[in-house]
Amino acid sequence: MSELSQTIARDTAQKKSATDSRENYPLHLAIPTRFNDYDLLGHVNNALYNRYFEIIVLELVKRSGIDWIKDNVVPFAAEVLVQFKKPLPLVDHIDAALRVGRLGRSSVTYEIALFTPTSEDASANGHFVHVFVDRTSEQPVPMPQSVRDVFERYQYTGETS
Amino acid sequence: MSELSQTIARDTAQKKSATDSRENYPLHLAIPTRFNDYDLLGHVNNALYNRYFEIIVLELVKRSGIDWIKDNVVPFAAEVLVQFKKPLPLVDHIDAALRVGRLGRSSVTYEIALFTPTSEDASANGHFVHVFVDRTSEQPVPMPQSVRDVFERYQYTGETS
Amino acid sequence: MSELSQTIARDTAQKKSATDSRENYPLHLAIPTRFNDYDLLGHVNNALYNRYFEIIVLELVKRSGIDWIKDNVVPFAAEVLVQFKKPLPLVDHIDAALRVGRLGRSSVTYEIALFTPTSEDASANGHFVHVFVDRTSEQPVPMPQSVRDVFERYQYTGETS
Amino acid sequence: MSELSQTIARDTAQKKSATDSRENYPLHLAIPTRFNDYDLLGHVNNALYNRYFEIIVLELVKRSGIDWIKDNVVPFAAEVLVQFKKPLPLVDHIDAALRVGRLGRSSVTYEIALFTPTSEDASANGHFVHVFVDRTSEQPVPMPQSVRDVFERYQYTGETS
């Protein structure tokens, strides 16, 4: 685990210095908080960060034209990582931001950040990996080209700021 | 990100073959599922995995004697990683398992696995990192020795199977 | 609405004095609380009372032999009422209690109470109404006799204390 | 309980014919649904109706100027009733509607309806009762006049349609 942790730390440090401001994310979504998102410590509960990640991932999935009910090829969650930078305080909504990172043959990594409305520094960073599977066999298959085309539009291609 | 992904994949493969069965975790907790833990795809919703992670982490925190309300030094969530191996189907409860991994001066990594009641293969693996902070300054400080003593009892020390 | 409120108040007052202690409920279930059931006021969030109601209702549904997936006649939620008596504080579990109240041709009213582990006074009372419908037409139909037989065993038939 | 049920049924029938369309509610709020609001039956889970009720109640509470943290007089949930008319299907958001019903010395009843975006018929109706209490003694006290003034603006005063 320690090698992995070091790699995460190094990788994250590099990314953060270069590309972690709002303009480095092509997709933005304001997510209204709910009263019970907060726990008795007065902050957004840690498991809700994953809920917010899911909400913005599903926004992109919707834009990609995927139909969860009818399609034969659907994305399954493979991995989610959240790095908590600072507690999310009582706010009306969270600004979620997403860019498509690694785009493989059958998998896609979404890089995600959460911001409070008034801050330029992310309160949390992380990623979420989808693997496309055949609905029946549940084995990985190539993602549809039409979906890939949409994902490519949400990759970050700008110069580092 | 691709280096990271490869590292995760390699690291996970190594770990799994060696130390990922139930007996490699000193702490076990049966977590009753709730009807709404399941989403309309018929599986436990991905964000609930983090809820289950939190539940078993808080069980260890309770055993460590930490008092969230009164203590001056309290643990903050720093990072959570979930790797989804197979969907969690309709079951009465999930078997969560935890061992203390890396134990730093002010941080601790819990390694966690989720099992269905009848399976020896984990449905999900991952880790959760706590950093101990001073409640007022919110800066990292060494964890109390009494807490560390408890954490050490939940490290996995056996030979790999 | 005022007539209704008065009726609720009168009806509740009568019930409470007579039959609101633990022994007046044939079905009991300890429901482990989750950290995020509590909101930032330090009490169980009001919408979670309905979650606990659902959990004990589903326990009875399971005992009645209903199969949500296969049966042609399934119960739909028709009404839920919660009366909050006192806040639920930080406890490991809630004691839920249920008895079958009115048992109609196609509907059943479950009367429910929630207790803290150490209290004989309910922290909340209320009811939950299920109506049995044909899965296809979604129109009310008589409940199966086998289900009714189980429900009758959970009616409160004792003398008032 | 049967008297109560009859009263609810009669009272509801009267109300519905007269005042249950969207224009009979002064406060409207679009509530984005979340993926996990839906359960494996494909509908919004019943306990989420109470979550939506809470969200629109808290919107009015915010407009009334109540400060949960600082005020000495705060509202406690006393009762919530939900009547489920038809399942809430997969939609982007729910239209919640609220009017202030009975306005007592220390209590207020909010009458609430939930609509799908394209429907004029409520999918659910109900009410939520707040009682104002002294924060320390937790005993009922009169609600502040400034709060009452706001509540009066959200009463339904029009002719029945």
Distance of CA B61 to the CA centre of its chain: 11
Please report which confidence band the pLDDT of residue C1 belongs to, taking 50, 70 and 90 as the band edges: very low
DSSP string, chain D: -HHHHHHHHHHHHHHHHHH-SGGG-SEEEEEE--GGGB-TTSSB-HHHHHHHHHHHHHHHHHHTT--TTT-SEEEEEEEEEEEE-S---S-SEEEEEEEEEEE-SSEEEEEEEEE-TT-SS-SEEEEEEEEEEETTT--B-PPPHHHHHHHHHTB--SPP-
- Burial class (CB within 10 angstroms; exposed 0-12, middle 13-18, buried 19+) of D110: buried
Alpha-carbon distance D49 to D88, whole Å?
Answer: 9
- pLDDT lower than 70: segments of chain D: 1-19, 159-161
> Helix, strand, or coil here: A94?
strand
> Dmax of chain A from CA atoms?
46
Distance of CA A30 to the CA centre of its chain: 14
Write down the residue that tokens 């039409």 correspond to. A146
Residues of C in contact with A36 (CB under 8 A): 36, 39, 45, 47-48
The question of ipTM being above 0.85 is answered as: yes
- pLDDT lower than 50: segments of chain B: 1-14, 16-17, 160-161
Q: For chain B, what percent of residues have pLDDT higher than 90?
A: 78
Closest CA to B60 of B153, B156, B157: B153
Alpha-carbon distance D109 to D75, whole Å?
Answer: 12
Directed axis angle between helix C145-153 and helix C46-63, to 10°?
120
The two beta strands, D93-103 and D73-84, are unpaired
B148: Cβ contacts below 8 Å, ≥ 6 apart: B103
Which of D36, D41, D42 lies closest to B45 in CB terms?
D36
Please report which confidence band the pLDDT of residue C19 belongs to, taking 50, 70 and 90 as the band edges: low
Alpha-carbon distance A101 to A107, whole Å?
Answer: 10
Predicted confidence at residue B2, as pLDDT, reads 38
C70: Cβ contacts below 8 Å, ≥ 6 apart: none
Closest CA to B44 of B57, B32, B56, B33: B33
For residue C41, the surrounding DSSP H or E stretch is: none
What predicted TM-score, i.e. pTM, was given to this entire model?
0.88
B70, C90, C161 from D136: Cα distances, Å: 21, 18, 34
Q: How many residues does chain D have?
A: 161
Predicted confidence at residue C76, as pLDDT, reads 95
Please report which confidence band the pLDDT of residue A19 belongs to, taking 50, 70 and 90 as the band edges: low
Domains and CATH numbers, chain D: 2-153 (3.10.129.10)
Could D36 and A55 be called an inter-chain contact, meaning their C-beta atoms sit closer than 8 Å? no
**C27 bridge partner residues:** C98
For residue B109, which phi and psi values (nearest 5 degrees)?
A: -110, 120
Instruction: State both tokens at C92.
Output: 């490991």
Which of B38, B47, B48 lies closest to D39 in CB terms?
B38
Check if C93 contacts B (Cβ < 8 Å). Answer: no
Which of B36, B40, B42 lies closest to D47 in CB terms?
B36
Which of C8, C76, C80 lies closest to D4 in CB terms?
C8
CA distance D37 to chain A (A): 11
Instruction: State both tokens at B118.
Output: 């009848």
> By the 8 A CB rule, do B109 and A1 touch?
yes
CA distance C46 to chain A (A): 9
**C114 bridge partner residues:** C96, C124
Check if B58 contacts C (Cβ < 8 Å). Answer: yes
Predicted confidence at residue A6, as pLDDT, reads 43
Alpha-carbon distance B124 to B132, whole Å?
Answer: 26
Could B51 and C34 be called an inter-chain contact, meaning their C-beta atoms sit closer than 8 Å? yes
pLDDT digits (tens, 9 = 90+) for C47-89: 999 999 999 999 999 999 999 888 999 999 999 999 999 999 9
- Burial class (CB within 10 angstroms; exposed 0-12, middle 13-18, buried 19+) of B106: middle
Could A50 and B54 be called an inter-chain contact, meaning their C-beta atoms sit closer than 8 Å? no
Answer yes or no: is pLDDT of C11 > 60: no
